């Protein structure tokens, strides 16, 4: 419904929730095309860090309603940030397809 309105600004909260992976990619590629081809500004809330890193130009990380980090996926998705924001030990590796950061969880820190 948001796309049918044709607005210049799209605010999407978890638009890929409950979709299988191929449909998640369809939605994110469509949103990317709307930005690239039609100049629409798009803000998306995603909890899948790997999809966010692959499709977003800028990321914002928050914890308890407080802004913790903002920047490119490579600037934001660090092992230190994952530990402090998500209590997660993880490795951040280059995605073999896109080169964007890819989060590989190791274990919960608590």
Residue 30 in tokens: 């469509």
Give the pLDDT of residue 110: 82
What band does 8 get if pLDDT is binned at 50, 70 and 90? confident
Q: What digits encode the pLDDT tens for the residues 15-73?
A: 999 999 999 999 999 999 989 988 889 999 999 999 999 999 999 999 999 999 999 99
Give the pLDDT of residue 39: 87
What band does 83 get if pLDDT is binned at 50, 70 and 90? very high
Return the closest-CA partner of residue 69 out of 56, 52, 84: 84
State how far the Cα of 61 lies from the Cα of 51, in Å rounded to an integer: 14
Give the pLDDT of residue 1: 63
State how far the Cα of 43 lies from the Cα of 15, in Å rounded to an integer: 11
Confidence check: pLDDT of 5 > 90: no
């Amino acid at each position: 419904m948001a796309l049918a309105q044709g607005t210049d600004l799209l605010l999407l909260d978890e638009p890929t929730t409950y979709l299988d992976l191929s449909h998640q990619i369809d939605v994110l590629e469509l949103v990317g095309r709307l930005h690239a081809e039609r100049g629409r500004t798009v803000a998306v809330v995603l909890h899948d860090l790997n999809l966010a890193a692959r499709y977003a130009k800028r990321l914002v990380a928050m914890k308890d309603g407080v802004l913790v980090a903002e920047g490119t996926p490579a600037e934001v998705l660090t092992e230190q940030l994952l530990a402090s924001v998500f209590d997660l030990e993880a490795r951040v590796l280059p995605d073999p397809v896109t080169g964007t950061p890819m989060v590989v969880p190791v274990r919960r820190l608590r």
